[in-house]
Structures are given as C-alpha cells and as structure tokens.
Amino acid sequence: MSPFNLSLPVAIGCDHAGFDYKEAIISFLDGKNVSWKDFGTYSADSVDYPDFAHPVAEAVENKEAAFGILVCGSGNGVAITANKHQHIRAAICWGEELAGLARKHNDANIICIPARFVRENLVEKMIEVFIHTDFEGGRHQNRVKKISCS
C-alpha cells in the first residue's frame, strides 16, 4: 500500500541529462500500473531544467499529481527549483536509504534523481521505496511544519 493517492498520476520531468532515465522511469511505472504525466523534456537536446521542474512542482502542489519525480544531471537544479514552491519538499536521493528517509523524516513529495551519479536499476529501487514509505510524523511533524516561510 502506498501513502500516496495513486489514483492521481505521478508528475515526471527532466532536463536533457535526465531524459534517458525519465524514459526508463516511465516504463518502470507502466510495469507497476502507475499512471503518470510527462512534463518533458522530450529529447536529449539541451534545455533549461526550470522549464520542467516548475510544472512538476505545480502539479504536485495543486494536488493534480500524487507526487513528483524530477531528473537532471546532479539533481540539484531541479530540487532547488521545485523547492521554491511553498508546499513542495523535493529531496535529492542517490540511494534507497535516502529515498526512505526523505519520506519518513521529511514527508518529501518530489524525489530528485541525479542521473549522472546513480545507475538505472537503483533508480527503480529508490522510486519503489519512495512510493511505499510512509511519513513517520511524530517529532518530524513539527520540523516539517517549520519548513514553510509563511
């Protein structure tokens, strides 16, 4: 059972460095019967990551998506961009343990994947962990509430 409302699609986006991984992630989600909405990019041609990170973050923020997946070379650009949105908690993850902690301790709603630093088979495992890990709440709830600037 997933803590996310998987009756909604997963919002997914990337820049040129993440394009191949995004395509593999879409195939992985299809294999799990998880719906998705692709916010681009749609090729490996050079693009600006904010053009794809903002729409993914907006879809998650507006509850039009269950959660988000963003991929770029380092994960930093898409995470910085997504985290500009008030109700987004985008976490850079390069391992299963980090994906789990991002959910358990930070209630992350977007996983940011550094395509140049993780292997494709690990990406699938991280997403699986992210999808199925609950937020622990408790002492972490107060900390997450303090993240917002408003």
User: Which residues form the catalytic set?
Assistant: 72, 105
CB-based burial of residue 75 (10 Å sphere; 0-12 exposed, 13-18 middle, 19+ buried)?
A: buried
Which CA distances in Å does 40 have to 19, 46, 47, 114? 8, 12, 10, 16
- What is the rounded distance in angstroms from the CA atom of residue 149 to the CA atom of residue 27? 37
- Half-sphere exposure (Cβ direction) of 126: Cα atoms closer than 13 Å: 28
Name the token pair of 135: 């937020």
CB contact at 8 A, 111 and 89: no
